[in-house]
C-alpha cells in the first residue's frame, strides 16, 4: 500500500510536470483510488459485438478488482491519440500504430490466435471474381479498413510499393470503411471490387456471420505478422495498473469468465511478447515510406 | 330504336342495368381517382420522410464524397420495414456522378446516374409514378448553406399500393355487378308482376278478335291489383255487350232466313196455286166429260203435268232445307234447284232471269253454303231490278275456284250496302232497320269459304256483284264444312 502511494505520488508529480495542465486534471482524477481503468478498443474487433464488450469489461473489473471504463472510437487514429496522450490507461491497437509510436508505447500483452501471437492480412474479392493476385485488381474500386491499420491498409500498400505503385495510382478509386467487418460488407455488396482485411476478423466472421462473407473469397494471404497488441503509454509500462492488467489478461484462460470472453473472441489467450514481434510490420512501414531496408 | 321493340318487362331491367353500369363506372372512376391521389400523397409523404432523413444523415458524407459512409447509411436504411420500401437509392455528387448507391453491383460508384432517373425526374422533390414498373421515382437536391452539394435519387416499390388499388377496383366491380344484377332482377320481377294483368287482358282481347269474347272470371279479377280492376270490369262489360250482340245477330239471321223462307214459301204457294186452278178445272172437266176417252186422256195428262210441277217444287224445297248441314259438294243440280227456287219470286216481281251455268262436274265447295249465297244475291237482284227487266246470273268454273256473277238493272247499290257486302262481316250484325242483314250474312258466308266479293257497275247499268270462291282440298273442306 505504501509503495503504491509512493509510486502514485511520483507518477502524479511526473504527470503534472510532463503533460499539459488540462490533462493534469483528468490525470488527477484517474489517480484517485478506485478510479476506473480506462481501456480503449479499436474497431479491430467486431464492433457489433456489444455482448462481448460487456463480458470483457465484466471480466477485467472482476480480475482487477476495480471498475473498468471501455472507450470506443471510430478510427484507429483516435484510439492511438487517446493512448499516446495518456487519456486512457491501455488500448487494444493495431501493430501499425504500435510501430509508428514505437518510442511512446509499450506492450501489455499480445493475443494468441491459433496457438501463436500472429495473424495475416487478407486480400479479398467477390466470390464470382476471377482475380488471383493483387495485380488483377488494378483499376478497380478498393476498400481499405483504416489508414492506420496494418492488415487493412499497410500490407496492401507495401505490396503495391514493391510493384512501384501506390493506391491512388493503382486503383481507380479507394475508400476507408473504418472497420474490417465493413470491408467485408463493401466487397460482398459490390461497393468495392476488392478489400484489404484482417485475416483474424475475416475468419471469425466466416464462422460467426457466414451470410455476410458468403459472397466473398480470399484472393491472397500475407505472411504472418504480429497480432494487434494491447499497448500502454511507455512511461506506464511498469505501473501496477499495467502489471495488474497484464496479469489479468494472461490469466484469462484459467478463469471461467475469461474463457467465455476468449471464446467470444475466438482467441486462445494472451501472452507477454517482446516488441520485436512487430518488426515485420515496421519493415513494411519503412517500405511504404520509401526508406530503404 | 332497338329498345322500343323490346317488351316492357325486358326494357325496364335493361334500363336499370344501363343506369347502374353508368353509375358504377362513374363512382368507380371517382373512387379510384381519389384513391390514386391519396396513395400518391402517401407515397410522397413517405418518400419525403425517407429522403429527408437520408439528406440529414448524408450531408457531411456527401461533402466528403465518403463512399463508405454514404453506402453504410443507405444499407442500413434499407432494412426499414413498411408497405412502401425504397428499392434503389442513389446518392450523387453535384456533377451527378454516383457517390454510392444501395445496389453497388447495378449502379456502381464513380459512374453517371442512370438515364432512367435523370430522364423521368425533372422536378425537384416531386415523385413520379411509373405504374408499369410498379415504382415511384424521386429526385431530391441536397443543399448545404445554399450550395448544391449533391442529389439523392430514390425508387420506391409501390407494388402493394397498386395491388390495393386493383383489389379496390375488383371489389367495386364485383359489388356493382352484384348490385346491378339484383336491381335488374328486381326490376324484371316487379315488371313481370305489374304486367301480368295487362298480359291477361291482352290475351283475352286477342282471343276476342279470333271470335270468342269470353268474360274474365270474377275470382281472377279479384286477384288483380286495384289499379287494373277498372280495366277488367270494362272488359267484362264489353264482353257481355258483345255476347248480347252475337246472340241478337244469330236471332236476326234466323229471322232473316225465316223471312226469305217466307218469301220462298209464298212463291211456292203461288207455284202450287197456279196448277191447282187448272187441276180443279181438269177435275171439273173429268166429272162432266169423263166419259169421253179423248177428253179424259187430255185432261189426265193435264192433271199429271200439274201434279208433276207441284212435286218438283216440293222436292226442291225439301232438298234445300233438309240439307241444311249437308256436306255435299256443289254440283250443277244445285244451281238447277236454285233456278226453280228463284223463278217463282222472279215471276212475282216480273223480272226476267237469265242463267249462264258453266259447271261441268261437282266442285269441292260446300253446296249448301253456295246455294245460300247465290239465293241471297239472286233474290236481292230481283228486288232491285224494275219490272220487265232482266237479271243475269252466271256461274263459271276456273281451275282453282268458281266465280258467281249476279248483274241487275237496278238503280245501283248504296255505298253503305256495298260496304256491308264487302267487309261487313267483321262488324256486328246490322240491327234495327231490316236492310243489309242479307248482305251481311252473304259476306260472312263468303269469308267462311275464304272467298272474296267485288262490286262494280253492270255492263248495261245497274250493279254487278262477283263472288270468287276457292276450291278446297278435301281435308280442309271437311274442316270448313
Mean pLDDT, residues B405-409: 87
| Co-location of A231 and A89 in the same domain | yes
Q: Which of A1-10, A115-124, B202-211, B414-423 has the lowest mean pLDDT?
A: A1-10
User: The CATH number of B327-481 is which of 3.40.50.300, 3.30.565.10, 2.40.50.100, 3.40.920.10?
Assistant: 3.30.565.10
* Site from B60, B62, B68, B99 to mutate, A interface, most A CB atoms within 10 angstroms: B68
**Pairing mode of beta strands A225-226, A118-119:** antiparallel
Residue A135 lies in a domain: yes
Helix-strand-coil percent breakdown of chain A, rounded to 5?
50, 20, 30
Residue A130 lies in a domain: yes
Where residue A26 falls among pLDDT bands split at 50, 70, 90?
A: very low
Q: What is the pLDDT of residues B188-247, one digit of tens each?
A: 998 888 888 888 888 888 877 666 677 888 888 888 888 888 888 888 888 888 888 888
> pLDDT value at position B474?
53
The angle that helices A180-189 and A199-208 make with each other, rounded to 10 degrees, is 70
Of A197, A222, A247, the residue at which a domain comes to its end is A222
In angstroms, the separation between the Cα of residue B115 and the nearest Cα of chain A is: 20
> pLDDT value at position B206?
82
Closest CA to A217 of A242, A246, A237, A197: A197
Helix-strand-coil percent breakdown of chain B, rounded to 5?
60, 15, 20
Residue A161 lies in a domain: yes
- Domain B2-169: CATH class, spelled out: alpha beta
Residue B223, C-beta contacts closer than 8 angstroms, at least 6 positions apart? none
C-alpha span between A33 and A49 (Å, rounded)? 31
| Co-location of A204 and A167 in the same domain | yes
Q: What is the pLDDT of residues B419-467, one digit of tens each?
A: 878 877 666 656 544 556 677 778 878 887 888 888 887 667 788 898 9
Mean pLDDT, residues B180-193: 89
Q: Is residue B149 scored above 60 in pLDDT?
A: yes
> pLDDT value at position B473?
63
Residue A291 lies in a domain: no
| Co-location of A42 and A78 in the same domain | yes
| Co-location of A198 and A269 in the same domain | no
C-alpha span between B411 and B383 (Å, rounded)? 11
Residue A92 lies in a domain: yes
| Co-location of A91 and A231 in the same domain | yes
Of A222, A242, A261, the residue at which a domain comes to its end is A222
Where residue A23 falls among pLDDT bands split at 50, 70, 90?
A: very low
| Co-location of A60 and A189 in the same domain | no
Domain CATH code at residue A104: 3.40.190.10
> pLDDT value at position A235?
92
Q: Which of A170-174, A281-285, B9-13, B259-263 has the lowest mean pLDDT?
A: B259-263
| Co-location of A230 and A105 in the same domain | yes
Q: How many domains does chain A fold into?
A: 2
How high does pLDDT run on average in chain B?
A: 81
Q: Is residue A160 scored above 70 in pLDDT?
A: yes
Domain limits for position A197:
121-222
Q: Is residue A12 scored above 80 in pLDDT?
A: no
C-alpha span between B2 and B191 (Å, rounded)? 19
Radius of gyration of chain A, Cα coordinates, nearest whole angstrom: 20
Where residue B62 falls among pLDDT bands split at 50, 70, 90?
A: very high
Residue A159 lies in a domain: yes
Are the C-beta atoms of B88 and B154 separated by less than 8 Å?
yes
C-alpha span between B220 and B200 (Å, rounded)? 10
Where residue B363 falls among pLDDT bands split at 50, 70, 90?
A: confident
Are the C-beta atoms of A68 and A61 separated by less than 8 Å?
yes
Of A172, A205, A222, the residue at which a domain comes to its end is A222
DSSP code at position A153: I
> pLDDT value at position B400?
84
Mean pLDDT, residues A235-261: 93
Say how many residues make up chain A: 293
Nearest C-alpha in A relative to B105: A190
Per CB-CB distance under 8 Å, the chain A contacts of B66 are: 175
CA distances to B205, B213, B254, B420, B449 from B429, in Å: 20, 15, 12, 10, 19
Per CB-CB distance under 8 Å, the chain B contacts of A191 are: 67-68, 71, 100, 104, 109
In angstroms, the separation between the Cα of residue A39 and the nearest Cα of chain B is: 27
Residue A26 lies in a domain: no
In angstroms, the separation between the Cα of residue A172 and the nearest Cα of chain B is: 9
Q: Which of A141-155, A230-244, B463-477 has the lowest mean pLDDT?
A: B463-477
Residue A1 lies in a domain: no
Where residue A43 falls among pLDDT bands split at 50, 70, 90?
A: low
| Co-location of A142 and A183 in the same domain | yes
| Co-location of A113 and A126 in the same domain | no
Amino acid at each position: 500500500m505504501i509503495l503504491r502511494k509512493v509510486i502514485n505520488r511520483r507518477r502524479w508529480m511526473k504527470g503534472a510536470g510532463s503533460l499539459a495542465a488540462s490533462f493534469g486534471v483528468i490525470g488527477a482524477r484517474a489517480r484517485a483510488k478506485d478510479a476506473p481503468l480506462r481501456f480503449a478498443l479499436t474497431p479491430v474487433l467486431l464492433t457489433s459485438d456489444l455482448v462481448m464488450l460487456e463480458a470483457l469489461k465484466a471480466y477485467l473489473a472482476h480480475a482487477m478488482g476495480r471498475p473498468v471504463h471501455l472507450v470506443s472510437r471510430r478510427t484507429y487514429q483516435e484510439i492511438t491519440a487517446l493512448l499516446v496522450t495518456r487519456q486512457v490507461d491501455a488500448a487494444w491497437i493495431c501493430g501499425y500504430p504500435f510501430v509508428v509510436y514505437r518510442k511512446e508505447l509499450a506492450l501489455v500483452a499480445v493475443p494468441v490466435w491459433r496457438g501463436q501471437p500472429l495473424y495475416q492480412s487478407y486480400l479479398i474479392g467477390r466470390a464470382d471474381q476471377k482475380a488471383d493476385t493483387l495485380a488483377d485488381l488494378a483499376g478497380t474500386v478498393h476498400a481499405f479498413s483504416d489508414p492506420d491499420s496494418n492488415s487493412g491498409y499497410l500490407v496492401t500498400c507495401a505490396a503495391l510499393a514493391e510493384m512501384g505503385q501506390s493506391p491512388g495510382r493503382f486503383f481507380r478509386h479507394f475508400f476507408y470503411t473504418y472497420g474490417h467487418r465493413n470491408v467485408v460488407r463493401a466487397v460482398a455488396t459490390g461497393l468495392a471490387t476488392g478489400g484489404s482485411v484482417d485475416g483474424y476478423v475475416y475468419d471469425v466472421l466466416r464462422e460467426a456471420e457466414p451470410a455476410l462473407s458468403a459472397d466473398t473469397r480470399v484472393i491472397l494471404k500475407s505472411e504472418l505478422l504480429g497480432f494487434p497488441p494491447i499497448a500502454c503509454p511507455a512511461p506506464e509500462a511498469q505501473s501496477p495498473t499495467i502489471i495488474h492488467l497484464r496479469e489479468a489478461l494472461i490469466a484469462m484462460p484459467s478463469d471461467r469468465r475469461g474463457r467465455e470472453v476468449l471464446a467470444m473472441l475466438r482467441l486462445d489467450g494472451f501472452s507477454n511478447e517482446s516488441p520485436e514481434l512487430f518488426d515485420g510490420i515496421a519493415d513494411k512501414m519503412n517500405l511504404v515510406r520509401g526508406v530503404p531496408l | 330504336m332497338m329498345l322500343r321493340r323490346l317488351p316492357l318487362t325486358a326494357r325496364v331491367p335493361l334500363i336499370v342495368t344501363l343506369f347502374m353500369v353508368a353509375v358504377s363506372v362513374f363512382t368507380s372512376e371517382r373512387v379510384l381517382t381519389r384513391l390514386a391521389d391519396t396513395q400518391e400523397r402517401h407515397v410522397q409523404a413517405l418518400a419525403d420522410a425517407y429522403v429527408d432523413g437520408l439528406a440529414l444523415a448524408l450531408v457531411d458524407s456527401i461533402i466528403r464524397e465518403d463512399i463508405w459512409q454514404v453506402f453504410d447509411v443507405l444499407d442500413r436504411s434499407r432494412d426499414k420495414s413498411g408497405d412502401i420500401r425504397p428499392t434503389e437509392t442513389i446518392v450523387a455528387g453535384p456533377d451527378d456522378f454516383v457517390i454510392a448507391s444501395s445496389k453497388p453491383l447495378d449502379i456502381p460508384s464513380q459512374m453517371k446516374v442512370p438515364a432512367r432517373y435523370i430522364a423521368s425526374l425533372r422536378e425537384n422533390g416531386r415523385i413520379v409514378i411509373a405504374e408499369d414498373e410498379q415504382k415511384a421515382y424521386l429526385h431530391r437536391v441536397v443543399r448545404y448553406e445554399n450550395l448544391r452539394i449533391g442529389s439523392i435519387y430514390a425508387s420506391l416499390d409501390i407494388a402493394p399500393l397498386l395491388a390495393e388499388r386493383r383489389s379496390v377496383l375488383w371489389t367495386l366491380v364485383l359489388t356493382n355487378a352484384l348490385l346491378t344484377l339484383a336491381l335488374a332482377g328486381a326490376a324484371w320481377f316487379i315488371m313481370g308482376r305489374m304486367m301480368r294483368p295487362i298480359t291477361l287482358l291482352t290475351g283475352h282481347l286477342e282471343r276476342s278478335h279470333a271470335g270468342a269474347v269470353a268474360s274474365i272470371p270474377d275470382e281472377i279479377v279479384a286477384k288483380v291489383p286495384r289499379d287494373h280492376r277498372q280495366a277488367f270490369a270494362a272488359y267484362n262489360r264489353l264482353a257481355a255487350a258483345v255476347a248480347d250482340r252475337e246472340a241478337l245477330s244469330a236471332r236476326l239471321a234466323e229471322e232473316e232466313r225465316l223471312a226469305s223462307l217466307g218469301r220462298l214459301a209464298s212463291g211456292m204457294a203461288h207455284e202450287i196455286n197456279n196448277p191447282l186452278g187448272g187441276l180443279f178445272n181438269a177435275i171439273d172437266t173429268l166429272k162432266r166429260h169423263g166419259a169421253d176417252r179423248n177428253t179424259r186422256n187430255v185432261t189426265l195428262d193435264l192433271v199429271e203435268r200439274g201434279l208433276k210441277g207441284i212435286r218438283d217444287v216440293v222436292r226442291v224445297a225439301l232438298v234445300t232445307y233438309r240439307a241444311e248441314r249437308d256436306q255435299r259438294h256443289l254440283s250443277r243440280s244445285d244451281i238447277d234447284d236454285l233456278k226453280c227456287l228463284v223463278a217463282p219470286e222472279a215471276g212475282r216481281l216480273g223480272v226476267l232471269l237469265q242463267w249462264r251455268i258453266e259447271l261441268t262436274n261437282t266442285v269441292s265447295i260446300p253446296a249448301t253454303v253456295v246455294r245460300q249465297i247465290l239465293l241471297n244475291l239472286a233474290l236481292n237482284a230481283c228486288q232491285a231490278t224494275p219490272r220487265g227487266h232482266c237479271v243475269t246470273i252466271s256461274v263459271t268454273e276456273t281451275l282453282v275456284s268458281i266465280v258467281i256473277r249476279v248483274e241487275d238493272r237496278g238503280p245501283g247499290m248504296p255505298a253503305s250496302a256495298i260496304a256491308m257486302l264487302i267487309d261487313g262481316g267483321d262488324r256486328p250484325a246490322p240491327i234495327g232497320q231490316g236492310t243489309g242483314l242479307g248482305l251481311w250474312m252473304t259476306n260472312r258466308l263468303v269469308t267462311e269459304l275464304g272467298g272474296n266479293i267485288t262490286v262494280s257497275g253492270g255492263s248495261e247499268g245497274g250493279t254487278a256483284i262477283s263472288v270468287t270462291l276457292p276450291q278446297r282440298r278435301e281435308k280442309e273442306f271437311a274442316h270448313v264444312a
